[in-house]
Structure 1
Amino acid sequence: MCERNVNRSARIKGKNVSMKQKFNRLDCTNRFEDALGWCMSPVMWFFLSIISPFLFVMKQVTDKLLFFMVGRNVIYNVNWEDPRVERAVLKLNEDDNVITIASAGCNSLDYIIDGARVTACDLNDCQIALCEIKVACAKILTYDEFFSIFASNDCDFLREIYPKRLRPMLTAPSASFWDEKIDTIDSFMYFGASGGLAYVAFRIFFPMIGLGWIRNACAERMPPNEFQGIIDVNKVYIKTAAWLIKKVLEPFAIAFAGVPLRQIQLGNKRHNTWLTVFENIIYRTDFCGDNYFYNGYILGYFDKHCCPNYLKEENFARMQANLKKGNLTLYTGTIEGFLKENMALKAAKKPYDTFTVASLLDHMDWMPHEWINSEISILMKNMDPATGRVFWRSFANDVHSPILQHLNPVEIDQYPEVEGAHAGQYAYHSCDRVGMYFSSWIANISECGNTIEPRSISWSDDSTTFDTSFLTTLKTGFKIVSFPIKQAIGLVETQKETANGHGKNIEAFYQDQASVYDSFRENFLHARCPMLTCLPTKTSGDMVWIDVGGGTARNLEFIPVDVLKARFKKIIVVDISPSLLDVAKARVAKHGLSDIVECVCCDFTDERSVKKHLPAAGSVDIVTFSYSLSMIPNKKCALENAERLLKSNGEGCLGVADFFERSGREHLLQYPIQLLRFIESKAHKYYFRCDGVHLLTDEVFENGLTSTMSKQFEEKFRGSVPLLPILRPYQGFAFFAKE
């Protein structure tokens, strides 16, 4: 059957079928049945059940293993970001100054070909050592010599020229690295952690599951339609590979691929992520003729027809000339570290860099929001305000952080259709060949409209401002846990749950713990910091912010005092507890913010109080609920008042950080796990209700907000509770914009 299909395809195209017979000697029906039987075999399921504990442990330590390798070995032997995507958008030239991640140096050298000046940073000095030896070779060797080393793996020639010609050109750390590695390296294609993983995946794993024929297809440069035809007939093998990657290789091998767990988790909402990746690679690229990323790993070498730009003969002279001009700067450290040094040069009135392009590859995928804000806030100060562009790609389908949303980025079409092409045909020359990135973005600094400002942890320089000692935590925890008991036995008078009664109950709850309120909650309210880190700030400098349930004004401390003064004309801390607001007033006065910060004691669900004490409807830029909405009985009214106060036309922002009843992804879990999560959520709901906290659900926002409020971002995660490590309720934060 399969052979007849191949013959028919060959007759149509006038091709000789003998080459295809090498790749498909087995009967397709038998191969299908064999693969299907293997996949469903009890032996395989038994094997997976045996190794499951090991895979679980590996998943817990994968990030620790990855960062353990930093500084000890090369992780990326090839850049796994296709430079063709950003080059088509950025259109680099001699006027551009680029800051980027060094990785294996492939993309940096690609930018150099276009004449741009490039600063490439990498925290792993082993990656810098790899880049340095490429640069040294490019400066002094002929094209054929350069190609023989980095494409054909002629490591004997590298060893021959290293001591006298290359080593003197390296920095001391890089020379030390190569002194150790030069005698053992035998292939740049399988060098480092990702190179070793690639060897196992493509040279051992693929043949084991019936995909070994792909190596011959790549060697013979099989045309795309013929390659895809064979894949269509044998698609069970691709599905098998995708399934095994998800179940086995993902928890075990992502550290060796240099992929942090947080980045993989960006794809949790997708179904069959790895099958989609395979389909992107097979059907949207010329896999055998142009996709050097996979060709190199499958074959073990690059050839002159299928290789990165910096290895192509027509580009070598330009690259060599621009490197000799000094167009490439390599920096061991983070992008943020380099930019801080650059700003110090500017402050000292010494020569410094202003960048037109920041090509950030995919490294922000694994960074927490606080790190993204820290990097982007200083990057903005180093970018050319007129021509600056920021480019990044992501494993997520959308912009994965509100901070990046504030840049107003535009998504790049990685798979543009060809004009006049029929359905199913693609432009092999115009798409991302890696296939693992589900979105790419570019933001123009001049069109941003927002500022990305630094954030802080505390206004005080004293890191011991909040006493989080075990004794203090124990005492405060006891007060919280014992409060419902005191109510039950009559030691604390309980008011009816009216608006006024709720206020008295809240005051009774907080009045004897107000002084240590912040200390206890520092290690408890895990979504507060990212929510406040991601608050938008506008360039106008006249913003109005209402913090509902702001209590002690601790929330304000996550934004530096000078930023608050520069960006806000009015901040109102609203709370129903006078004791907490007394702490807030003292804190605000101590740091000189009394002129812009007002503390208001009122019930946010009381319409008369809202109208009396708060600004006019439609005049507020930001309203936040930081772990307060779950304690407000009338949540619908609170959300309605917040919506009414906010500006429209996308200018008003509602931010909520709180405890949630569910994650929203339970339907993706297996049934036994779903049942356990259901029971757990009921237990959490009961436990928190004892302290007057009612866990939020999505229905709260659906019922309390109108269609004019659109959700811009949401993130949920599990967070620990002091003194009760077994209790890990869902927490999270969300932003809504008023259209």
Structure 2
Amino acid sequence: MNSQLIADAVHDSKSVVEATIWARLYAFWLRRLVYTQIWEDPVADLAALRLAIGSTIVTISSGGCNALSYLMAQPAQVYAVDLNGAHLALLKLKLAGLRAFSNYSDFWQFFGEASSPANSDLYRDRLRPLLDAQARNYWDKRTTTGRSRHAYFTDGFYRHGMLGRFIGFAHFVAKLSGIDPAILLNGRPDAPARIEALERLDRVCHSWFARLITATPALLFSLGIPPRQRALLGGGAPLNDVLHKRLLCLIDGHPNETNYFAWQALHRAYIGPGDRCLPPYLQRRQYERMRNGAGLIIPHHASLKQFLDSLPAREVDAVILLDSQDWMAADEIRKLWTAIDRAGSDNVHVIFRTAGEASPIEGEELASLRRTWQRDDERSAVGFALDRSGIYGGFHCYGRR
């Protein structure tokens, strides 16, 4: 999911929708740390992109998990672009970890387990000296509780951030409703206790409280859902019903023993260390590849269009837009794809998610883009089928005609 890239779209757009007070409030809200984990599956991305060795990748950074995981494709470089300084600070901290920690155990303790009191010393002694001024200032800054932000890694990092706190609130509601998330995560599909938990979940998601939450745009900000995307997600159906169905896809769409997205949603932590049920960059077998390739990850604080405009022509082989277009006006999308067209190689591919099923490129307003770009239905279907997060309505892969 995207971060403050929305702010650029909100303030540049002249449309009525994006000029609303809700959209401007959302842009302000997303100056914070939103995602401690990115919610797009990098394995699905790479399966759809089918990158050649030595490719150049441009991606929205978000939490940086995927930018690092793309090193599995042996790229020439990965440009990680974002306007959210908090997310870039997180990526830079992970890159510092790969440079500072010669063994997987320390890296896992800090970024995988992310809850050891000893991580304060690891930050001060080994990570902080490797950070640039912006990232160092971010992690050193004290929060309203008086603790430095790097202390997030001493008490459960994945419980922090806007989405992490919202998930914590959802767990509180589940407890009050008699729902044990552990049963949903680990129970046999036919176990009576799990069936009962799913029935309770259904009742909660269709309660007056759920309808109230999903009817109020500001209450969905912590899920990373801005006003424009909220309308697309609903698609005319009650939003609480749509979110219930997406939650069922998350917890039942793929085996939970290999679905780390389900573990983050229901357990609020990763299992590990090791190689199963973890994002690729946190897997033991990938650690040396991550360390050796860390220098290929290049963070940039900019909008995606601004960054693409700065590159030489025909430089880029893959562009990953996450779900950013869901809250962009048609004119902004057109400008972005013009920048991709100039910077993209002859064989460039572009992937993105949508809250609803439809791709914005297939609509009437953007029909002119289809003279250059064509949706690859087969690659799109592969990406959608493999995406374990289960929270998106569509996965789209485009290439040149």
TM-score bracket, shorter-length normalisation: 0.7 to 0.9
- Quickly say closer, same or farther: Cα 1:128–1:320, change in 2 above 3 A: same
**How is 1:109-128 mapped onto 2 (pairs within 5 angstroms)?**
109-116=68-75, 117-128=77-88
Q: Which amino acid aligns with 2:308?
A: L
Q: Relative to structure 1, is the Cα distance of residues 123 and 320 closer, same or farther in structure 2, using a 3 angstrom cutoff?
A: same
1:153 maps to which of 103, 108, 114: 114
Q: CA deviation at 1:410?
A: 2.8
Contact map agreement 1:245 1:274 (CA 8 A) in 2: no
Q: Work out whether 1:84 is the aligned partner of 2:47.
A: no
Return closer, same or farther for 1:398/1:380 CA change in 2, 3 Å cut-off.
same
Q: Could you say which residue in structure 2 is the equivalent of 1:461?
A: none
Alpha carbons of structure 1 residues 144 and 398: separation in structure 2 relative to 1, 3 Å: same
Amino acid at match of 1:100: T
Q: Quick one: which amino acid aligns to residue 388 of structure 2? A: R
Residue 380 of structure 1: CA displacement? 0.8
Contact 1:92 1:111 in 2 (8 A): no
Q: 1:237 to 1:63 in 2, by over 3 A?
A: farther
Aligned to 2:338: 377
Conservation of the 8 A alpha-carbon contact between 2:187 and 2:194: no
Q: Are 1:258 and 2:227 counterparts?
A: no
Instruction: Please state how far the C-alpha of 1:233 moved relative to its aligned partner.
Output: 4.5
Structure 1 residues without counterparts, runs of 5 or longer: 1-59, 347-352, 417-429, 448-739
2:260 corresponds in structure 1 to 292
Distance 1:105 1:209, change over 3 A: same
1:268 aligns with 2:234: yes
Q: Which has the higher contact order (CA 8 A, sep 6+)?
A: 2
Match of 2:284, as an amino acid? E
SS in 2 for 1:156: coil
Once the two structures are superposed, the pairs formed by residues 204-283 of structure 1 within 5 Å of their partners are 204-211=172-179, 213-215=180-182, 218=185, 221-223=186-188, 225-226=189-190, 230-243=193-206, 244-249=209-214, 251=216, 252-271=218-237, 272-283=241-252
Asked whether the equivalents of residues 158 and 268 of structure 2 are also in contact (C-alpha less than 8 Å), the reply is yes
CA distance in 1, matches of 2:219, 2:163: 9
Q: Structure 2: which amino acid aligns with 1:378?
A: A
Determine the structure 2 residue equivalent to 1:390: 350
Contact 2:183 2:197 in 1 (8 A): no
Q: Structure 1: how far apart are the matches of 2:25 and 2:260?
A: 28
Distance 2:342 2:80 in 1: 18
Q: CA deviation at 1:231?
A: 4.3
CA distance in 1, matches of 2:67, 2:383: 23
Hey, what's the Cα distance between the residues in 1 that align with 2:108 and 2:267?
Answer: 16
After TM superposition, the structure 1 = structure 2 runs for residues 345-364 of structure 1, keeping only pairs within 5 Å, are 354-364=315-325
What is the RMSD computed on CA atoms of the aligned residues? 2.4
Alignment of 1:104-503 (within 5 A): 104-116=63-75, 117-141=77-101, 142-180=103-141, 181-182=148-149, 184-185=151-152, 186-202=155-171, 204-211=172-179, 213-215=180-182, 218=185, 221-223=186-188, 225-226=189-190, 230-243=193-206, 244-249=209-214, 251=216, 252-271=218-237, 272-287=241-256, 289-304=257-272, 305-323=276-294, 326-343=295-312, 354-385=315-346, 387-401=347-361, 402=363, 403=366, 406=370, 407-411=373-377, 412-413=380-381, 431-445=386-400, 447=401
C-alpha deviations, 1:439-459, integer Å up to 9, x for none?
1111112x2xxxxxxxxxxxx
Kept in 1: contact 2:375–2:399 (CA 8 A): yes
Rounded Cα–Cα distance in structure 2 between residues aligned with 1:293 and 1:215? 14
Q: How many positions carry a matched residue from both structures?
A: 355
Cα–Cα, structure 1 residues 262 and 136, in superposed 2: closer, same or farther, change >3 Å? same
Q: Specify the code of the residue in structure 2 equivalent to 1:281.
A: L
CA contact (8 A) 2:45 2:383 kept: no
Cα distance, 1:217 vs. partner? 5.3
- Cα–Cα, structure 1 residues 250 and 134, in superposed 2: closer, same or farther, change >3 Å? farther
The one-letter code of the counterpart of 1:321 is N
1:415 to 1:177, Cα distance in 2 relative to 1, 3 A? closer
1:183 positional shift: 5.3
Distance 1:410 1:95 in 2: 22
Q: Contact 1:65 / 1:255 at 8 angstroms: preserved in 2?
A: no
TM-score by length of 1: 0.46
How far apart are the structure 1 equivalents of 2:150 and 2:69? 29
- 1 CA distance for matches of 2:399 and 2:169? 41
Kept in 2, the 8 Å contact 1:410–1:443? The answer is: yes
CA distance in 2, matches of 1:205, 1:433: 24
The Cα offsets for residues 294-348 of structure 1, whole Å up to 9 and x where unpaired, read as: 312432321123221111111111111111xx210000111111112224xx6xx
- Higher helix proportion: 2
C-alpha displacement at 1:108, in angstroms?
0.8
The DSSP-based 3-state class of the residue aligned with 1:266 is helix
Displacement after TM superposition at 1:90 (Å) = 1.4
- Does structure 2 conserve the Cα–Cα contact (< 8 Å) formed by 1:128 and 1:330? yes
1:39 counterpart residue number:
none
Partners of 2:178 and 2:255 in 1: CA distance: 21
Measured in 2, the distance between the counterparts of 1:62 and 1:292 equals 32
CA contact (8 A) 1:246 1:274 kept: no
CA-CA distance at 1:356 after TM superposition? 0.5
Counting aligned pairs with the same residue, the percent is 21
Aligned partners of 1:100 and 1:121 also within 8 Å: yes
* Structure 2 stretches lacking a partner, 5+ long: 1-19, 142-147
Contact 1:197/1:253 (<8 A) preserved: no
| Alignment partner, residue 686 of structure 1 | none
Q: Which residue of 2 aligns with 1:101?
A: 60
- What is the SS of the residue equivalent to 1:80? coil
1:249 shift after superposition: 4.6
Q: Tell me by how many angstroms 1:290 deviates.
A: 2.1
The answer (yes or no) to whether the contact 2:251–2:262 under 8 Å persists in 1 is no
Could you tell me which amino acid in structure 1 is paired with residue 181 of structure 2? I
The answer (yes or no) to whether the contact 2:48–2:383 under 8 Å persists in 1 is no
Larger radius of gyration: 1
